Amino acid sequence: MLIEKPVKDSSYIGGSWSGARGSRFDVENPATEETLATIASASEADVDAAVRAATGAARDWGRAPGGVRGAHVSAIGDLIRAHEDELAELLTAEGGKPVGLARWELGFAAGYADFTAGWDRRLDGEIIHSDNPDEVINLVRVPMGVVAAITAWNFPIALFVRKITSALVAGNTVVVKPSELTPLATAALVRLIDEELDLPPGVLNLVNGDAAVGRALVTHPGVDLVTFTGHRDTGKAVMRDAAANLTRVSLELGGKAPAIVWADADLDRAVESVVNGRHANSGQVCTSTERVIVHADVFDAFAERYLAAVAGLRLGDPRSDVDLGPVVSAGQLRKCVDAIEGAVKEGAIVALGGGRPDGAQFEQGHWLAPTVLTDVRPEMKIMHEEVFGPVTPIVKVHDYREAFELANATRYGLAAYLYTEDYRTALRAAQDLDFGELYVNRSLGEQVQGHHSGHKESGFGGEDGRHGVLRYTQLRTVYHNFG
């Protein structure tokens, strides 16, 4: 591995590694509960030093030619490809995701760097005619300044690259704080960037730690933009804390994605897509299918095929060729089990799974058998609160209005899925579903050239594509009077 335990130098500030001055915390393998590394948490002084380093580098980096910034971003993608084996091993060890999915994540991240690097010469502005004689108005895009990037534990490298490459190509400097549950792959990639690329000191900085470190970063007056991916409640706290300095925020806060299986759906396609959409990364994806809404005409047929498909999923050692690994932590496992038990108390039936799978290999670790709940009613809590695990509630509906009112009956608004062979239903749904992303007849997986952003309490700001890159810039109006 690229990380050895204990990790003495866990902060990367101003181009140098140093031992952070905060308390220590352990990083465990969720499949075995083995301690992988001990990390030194950053102190407030460490956070301050990181922001000051980023501030010191911001002027020169922001004025560097776009092609220079783009070349550095492109090199990050090449670096990921060159070290795919080592990084995939770390992603699997610390997050419990199957190694095949870890490799997919790295491929996505490298491709994202490729895409973002192309924006080095595309951050254009506008020229506007003035009402005054002998005058022209220019709107130019300039960097935000110092970006605080706080990433989630489910896709640490993809989220790291998603945030820093857009920020860097737009001329910003960055301080990154990964989740304390999965910091190892991020630290390894930062170390590779330090060793193999010539990124100027202070342009990229890394601090580790829990929510207290994140809060110190968010409330620092030297931070110009906070980009955060994580839980809704934490996102609300980020927004409140950032408001003290009127710091801008971009928030991606999860979802409660419905999958609507309509009466005319291709059931084989729908089953395959929903199984993947619910169980990829053990259901720990912000756009995961969190509830399945099935038309009564095909409910029994869909449920039978879905149960059979889920029963055939391979659960086991994520280093091998399996479909699911463990969930990331004891707390996440408890949350999933509580959701199942709560649904059962409200009258749902556990049609499959429901607890820890059988077998000696599952006695240690945070394992949950893929679970399917039937006899679910729309008012049940599990239909409205994010579970973030391999738990599928299935509910029956009888008409369009019932289905789409239920789909929208959530505080979240990130993603939704629809399976239908009628283009009119699909076009109507695109108007009626209050979500930032709609997938028609396919499973999850946004494209880098699109836009990943939620409605309602799933956040705002967004990543990906043109709008994602521009989020890391601000407009300046310049009046040129040549009279």
Reduced to 3 states (helix: H, G, I; strand: E, B; else coil), residue 457 is helix
Beta strand segments in 330-370, E: 349-352
Dihedral Cα 60, 62, 66, 71, nearest 10 deg: 70
Looking up residue 292, the CATH number of its domain turns out to be 3.40.309.10
The predicted structure's pLDDT at residue 20: 73
Do 354 and 307 fall within a single domain? Answer: yes
Confidence of residue 4 (pLDDT cuts 50, 70, 90): low
* pLDDT tens sequence across 177-194: 999 999 999 999 999 999
139 - beta bridge partners? 126, 477
* pLDDT tens sequence across 129-140: 999 999 999 999
Do 263 and 153 fall within a single domain? Answer: no
Determine the Cα–Cα distance for residues 332 and 352; give it in Å rounded to an integer.
20
441 assigned to some structural domain: yes
Which among 89, 94, 252, 457 is annotated as catalytic?
A: 252
Active site residue 252: yes
Do 270 and 248 fall within a single domain? Answer: no
Do 244 and 381 fall within a single domain? Answer: no
Residue 2 has pLDDT above 60, yes or no: no
Report the domain count for the chain: 2
The residue type of 436 is: G
Strand pairing category for 391-397 and 289-295:
parallel
Residue 364 has pLDDT above 70, yes or no: yes
**For the chain, counts of helices (H) and of strands (E):** 14, 20
Do 247 and 284 fall within a single domain? Answer: no
* pLDDT tens sequence across 16-52: 998 878 889 999 999 999 999 999 999 999 999 999 9
Residue 7 has pLDDT above 90, yes or no: no
* pLDDT tens sequence across 147-168: 999 999 999 999 999 999 999 9
Q: What is the mean pLDDT of residues 269-280?
A: 98
The predicted structure's pLDDT at residue 349: 99
Looking up residue 210, the CATH number of its domain turns out to be 3.40.605.10
CB distance 226 to 38 below 8 Å: no
* pLDDT tens sequence across 307-352: 999 999 999 999 999 999 999 999 999 999 999 999 999 999 999 9
Determine the Cα–Cα distance for residues 447 and 281; give it in Å rounded to an integer.
18
Task: Write the DSSP symbol of residue 324.
Answer: B
Q: Is the pTM of this model over 0.85?
A: yes
Residues 6+ apart with CB under 8 A from 341: none
Q: Name the CA radius of gyration of the chain, rounded.
A: 23
402 assigned to some structural domain: yes
197 assigned to some structural domain: yes
Residue 1 has pLDDT above 70, yes or no: no
Do 187 and 310 fall within a single domain? Answer: no
Do 328 and 344 fall within a single domain? Answer: yes
Distances in Å between the alpha carbon of 190 and those of 52, 161, 479?
A: 19, 11, 41
* pLDDT tens sequence across 45-78: 999 999 999 999 999 999 999 999 999 999 999 9
* pLDDT tens sequence across 421-458: 999 999 999 999 999 999 999 999 999 999 999 999 99
Do 36 and 139 fall within a single domain? Answer: yes
404 assigned to some structural domain: yes
The predicted structure's pLDDT at residue 22: 81
4 assigned to some structural domain: no
Determine the Cα–Cα distance for residues 198 and 206; give it in Å rounded to an integer.
16
Do 93 and 234 fall within a single domain? Answer: yes
Q: What is the mean pLDDT of residues 192-197?
A: 97
Do 243 and 281 fall within a single domain? Answer: no
452 assigned to some structural domain: no
Residue 3 has pLDDT above 70, yes or no: no
User: Could you please report the per-residue DSSP string of 160-221?
Assistant: HHHHHHHHHHTT-EEEEE--TTS-HHHHHHHHHHHHHS-PPTTSEEE---SHHHHHHHHT-T
Confidence of residue 8 (pLDDT cuts 50, 70, 90): low
Do 280 and 238 fall within a single domain? Answer: no
Q: What is the mean pLDDT of residues 392-410?
A: 98
* pLDDT tens sequence across 210-227: 999 999 999 999 999 999
Beta strand segments in 283-325, E: 289-295
Do 298 and 430 fall within a single domain? Answer: yes
Burial group, residue 58, by CB count within 10 angstroms (0-12, 13-18, 19+): buried
Residue 386 has pLDDT above 70, yes or no: yes
CB distance 21 to 217 below 8 Å: no
User: Which strands form 257-261's sheet, in the order they lie side by side?
Assistant: 349-352, 371-374, 391-397, 289-295, 257-261, 415-419, 437-440
170 assigned to some structural domain: yes
Q: Which of 3-7, 283-287, 425-429 has the lowest mean pLDDT?
A: 3-7
Give residue 122's domain range. Answer: 11-253+458-481
Q: List for the chain the helix, strand, coil content (%; round to 5).
A: 40, 20, 35
The overall average pLDDT reported for the chain is 97
Determine the Cα–Cα distance for residues 227 and 271; give it in Å rounded to an integer.
35
Burial group, residue 48, by CB count within 10 angstroms (0-12, 13-18, 19+): middle
Give the tokens for residue 149. 């990037």
Angle of helix 184-196 relative to helix 156-169, nearest 10 degrees? 40
3 assigned to some structural domain: no
